[in-house]
């Protein structure tokens, strides 16, 4: 299995670096970050607000099939340079995690290849480590929900 997305998380640091090379022209990669309908598709969340400009803000929300909000996140955009750079904060609402700052850099590799570098800085080392483990916890929850569904069907 080819590992296209690379993560560099050094021990004892409160930051991580995510890098990924895409088989896409730079303009298309950047567009996937600025068009709300496209962001919704690959992030699997609803986009309530997305202001692609300096001093702008954004808000994401995910609801379950019953309409309950299961995830909400927001942030402000500090810098926005088309096809080059986005600097923004990110914070999950109703979660015991502080805001993080994200530096996204977009780079042209060739006419049809591009690269994204995402540098995320957290408030503390402990918080970073906790957040890195979160997807696994979510996976377990998802499995749990599925199990609950199966159990409910048996009743």
- Which strands form 100-110's sheet, in the order they lie side by side? 5-8, 15-22, 113-121, 100-110, 85-92, 69-81, 57-63, 46-50
Encoded one letter per residue, x for contact with other proteins by CB under 8 A and - for no contact, window 72-111 reads ----------------------------------------
Cα distance between residue 15 and residue 12, in whole Å = 9
Choices 29-37, 47-55, 65-73, 81-89; region in contact with other proteins by CB under 8 A:
29-37
* Token duo for residue 56: 């702008």
Q: Give the nearer residue to other proteins in terms of CB position, either 85 or 115.
A: 115
Q: In the bound complex, what is the minimum distance in angstroms from residue 13's beta carbon to other proteins?
A: 13
Residue 93 to residue 89: CA distance in whole angstroms:
13
Binds other proteins (CB under 8 A): choice among 68, 124, 147, 152: 147
């Amino acid at each position: 299995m080819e590992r296209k997305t690379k993560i560099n998380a050094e021990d004892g640091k409160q930051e991580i670096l995510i890098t990924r090379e895409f088989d896409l022209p730079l303009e298309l990669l950047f567009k996937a970050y600025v068009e709300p309908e496209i962001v919704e598709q690959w992030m699997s969340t609803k986009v309530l607000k997305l202001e692609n400009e300096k001093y702008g803000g954004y808000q994401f929300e995910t609801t379950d099939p019953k309409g309950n909000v299961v995830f909400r996140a927001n942030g402000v955009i500090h810098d926005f340079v088309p096809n080059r750079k986005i600097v923004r904060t990110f914070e999950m609402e109703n979660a015991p995690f502080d805001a993080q700052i994200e530096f996204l850099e977009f780079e042209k590799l060739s006419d049809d290849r591009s690269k994204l570098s995402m540098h995320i800085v957290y408030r503390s080392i402990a918080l970073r480590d906790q957040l890195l483990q979160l997807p696994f916890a979510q996976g377990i929850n998802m499995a749990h929900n599925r199990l609950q569904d199966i159990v409910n069907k048996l009743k």
